[in-house]
A = this chain, B = another copy of it.
């Protein structure tokens, strides 16, 4: 079976940098960012999410897109979220559709349901959104848009609600107990991404992206059952 071709957007970002290093053996990568990608593991393109035509070029010939680009800032301004996470995500989905890309892995966020956390409510992906920020609202939009592209256009879309993505060595310095529940290690993140690419029978899904944390309060049962996710890490060893 030929190696799949995978576009990673936001490839110069913190998650993108880890993902391309960890997925380069498994896939033929194309890397996109609005900034030049340092030391790229494949063809690298500079393109802003505002540039639909440029995104079409980037999507051409790809088997899947891992869409990490966007404003990752929980306190981001409305204008930047509107441009990068709403308009930009529409551009990405539309470019992928026009180019016949069959599968998108969309980097969503736990902040789509952040108000359940504030109220100490254990959360599953079947519960309605309760965003804790305009950032969370903007990612909820991406999930709904993804569902529409699945139903209307037959694409496959997997939404990963990323928890607290931190390299092992950075966790201890951050302090606080929250990460014991919300940690996503880079290797577990990479596993989630490649399992999402490979689980072609799953046409749409929303999954919390966290390691196998003993203290988790977001349900990852569906990731284990539908994607075969088997996390290798657990934040408990930081205690």
Give me the interface of A with B, judged by CB distance under 8 Å: 78, 82, 86-87, 90, 94, 115, 118, 126, 128-134, 136-137, 140-141, 144-145, 147-148, 151-152, 206
Contacts and interface: CB of A to CB of B under 8 A. Distances in A.
Contact of A151 (B87, B115, B140): B115
A147 B126 contact: no
Given A82-B87, A86-B86, A87-B82, A131 B144 contact: yes
A141 B87 CA distance: 13
Closest 3 CB pairs of A and B: A115-B151, A140-B144, A131-B148
Contacts of A206: 128
A51 to B, nearest CB: 15
B141 A144 contact: yes
18 contacts: A82-B86, A82-B90, A86-B141, A115-B151, A118-B151, A128-B128, A128-B206, A129-B147, A130-B147, A131-B148, A132-B148, A132-B152, A134-B148, A137-B141, A140-B140, A141-B141, A141-B144, A144-B144
A148 B111 CA distance: 11
Given A82-B90, A129-B144, A131-B148, 11 more contacts: A78-B94, A82-B87, A130-B148, A133-B148, A137-B141, A137-B144, A137-B145, A137-B148, A140-B141, A141-B141, A144-B144
A128 B134 CA distance: 19
Contacts of A126: 128
Contacts of A115: 147, 151
A145 B87 CA distance: 16
Contacts of A86: 82, 86, 141
Contacts of A137: 141, 144-145, 148
